[in-house]
Amino acid sequence: MAGNQNAMAQQQKKVGAQFGGLAIGSGRPVVIAGPCSVESEAQILAAAHAVKAAGAAALRGGAFKPRTSPKSFQGLGEEGLKLLALAREQTGLPVVTEVMDTGEIDLVARYADVLQIGSRNMQNFALLKQVGWAGKPVILKRGLAATIAEWVSAAEYITMTGNTQVILCERGIRTFETHTRNTLDLSAAVAARELTGLPVMVDPSHAAGRRDLIPALSRAALAAGVDGLMIEVHPNPEQALSDKEQQLTFAAFGSLMAELGLLPAGALASLDACRQVIDQIDDELLALLARRMETVQRVGELKRVTGMPVLQPAREQALLDRLTSGAARELEGHDVRTIWQAILACSRRHQQTAG
Ligand code: PEP
Ligand code: MN
């Protein structure tokens, strides 16, 4: 096997620059981003424009979805592929989408720039062989419980067809841990890259299964020297038809790209560009405030039932103290107090007039 892997590494060096228009292996990390599933025209177009503005190199989105339960959303199928093609037309971003079945390879390859083999199909050998023949770059995700050697052998099924444009993607493996959806195995990402010479990406979204861990895992993956990241991003994660716990909002994705130093040159150079980002953040603030009000209303009902007055000075004081002490560097404690005093006044009014 070592001989084969060396041959694969040699061969790879010659074709490094291709990968469906992704400058992968060029030294600058490549980020592929987009929703878990393509759900509607409005959803995929909004996601495509937002991830492009934040510096993503390609758009992802599942049209054929490998769902654990047959009762879960299975994807829009060909309609989803057409929407991805429309998003590419509007943004110029190459499109990455999963193919699950040998019978669908031709169809998916007509629309996609890069074909994805999902974790659950990593050892579907008929699919691996035939996807190689489609002549498109392939992202091969690591199986949920595959060893590094099994993953590398699966890649060889594809490269054996003469298609050496394979990108490996570590997306977390099954372990005894239940706090996270899977366990991100960075050592496998690094080892597979060394063994094969193929570019390796990391998908922190499916690894963690929860959006709060994605920035730290992304930083860790890039520090380990991988070639790129695949990140799930949705216009409204709460409403997503699949993987809603792990998808980032546009604003969170923008912040992450800024933190990773991957915002495109000029992303915040013009007044218009900055205002677009501010509009995105304000939309999210508004949605969060609406959710806060829903909860406030419920608190109002509980206060009424238990005969508590609406105004609870000690609770308000504790809330303000907590927020002002935890205020981020960019915010003065005094400003945080002013903003939340206004929010609390609205909340009280809401409780007084409700019911
Ligand atoms: C996906 O990327 O859409 C996906 C289903 O991931 P995985 O195959 O890694 O579970
Ligand atoms: Mn997903």
347 and 205 in one domain?
no
Q: Has residue 96 got a pLDDT over 50?
A: yes
- Write down the pLDDT at residue 319: 96
Number of structural domains in the chain? 2
Average pLDDT over residues 174-189: 98
pLDDT in tens, 121-170: 999 999 999 999 999 999 999 999 999 999 999 999 999 999 999 999 99
What are the DSSP E strand ranges found in 38-102?
58-60, 95-98
| Domain interval for residue 348 | 271-352
Residues 27-73 have pLDDT tens digits of 899 999 999 999 999 999 999 999 999 999 999 999 999 999 999 99
Task: Please state, in angstroms and rounded to a whole number, the distance separating the CA atoms of residues 259 and 223.
Answer: 13
Q: Is 206 in the pocket of ligand 1 (CB under 6 A)?
A: yes
Shared domain check, 330 and 257: no
- Are residues 247 and 331 located together in one domain of the fold? no
What long-range pairs does 170-173 form, CB within 8 A, spacing at least 24?
170/142, 170/200, 170/201, 170/202, 170/203, 170/207, 170/226, 171/119, 171/141, 171/142, 171/202, 171/203, 171/206, 171/207, 171/230, 172/203, 172/206, 172/207, 172/208, 172/209, 173/142, 173/144, 173/145, 173/146
Asked if 68 and 195 sit in the same domain, the reply is: yes
Same domain, 211 and 111: yes
Residues 208 and 348 in one domain: no
Check residues 346 and 7 and name the one with the higher pLDDT: 346
Q: 286 and 263: one domain?
A: no
153 C-alpha to center of ligand 2: Å? 25
> Which of 203, 233, 267 delimits the end of a domain?
267
The answer to whether the Cα torsion of 243, 244, 248, 251 is positive or negative is positive
Domain containing 336 — which CATH number? 1.20.59.10
- Closest ligand 1 atom to 171 CA: 9
Question: Are 112 and 252 in the same domain?
Answer: yes
Q: Record the pTM.
A: 0.86
Among the three residues 245, 267, 289, which one is the final residue of a domain in this structure? 267
Residue finishing a domain among 267, 289, 314: 267
Gap between the Cα atoms of 295 and 174, Å rounded = 36
| pLDDT confidence tier of residue 3, bands split at 50, 70 and 90 | very low
CATH number at residue 129: 3.20.20.70
Query: Could you tell me if 253 and 49 are in contact, meaning their C-beta atoms sit under 8 angstroms apart?
Result: no
Q: Are residues 146 and 12 in the same domain?
A: yes
Counting ligand 1 atoms within 8 A of each CB, the residue from 141, 168, 203, 230 with the most, and so the one to mutate, is: 141
Does the beta carbon of 136 lie inside 6 Å of ligand 1? no
| Res 11 pLDDT > 90 | no
Q: Is 119 in the pocket of ligand 1 (CB under 6 A)?
A: yes
Residue 354, pLDDT > 80, answer no
pLDDT in tens, 295-336: 999 999 999 999 999 999 999 999 999 999 877 777 888 999
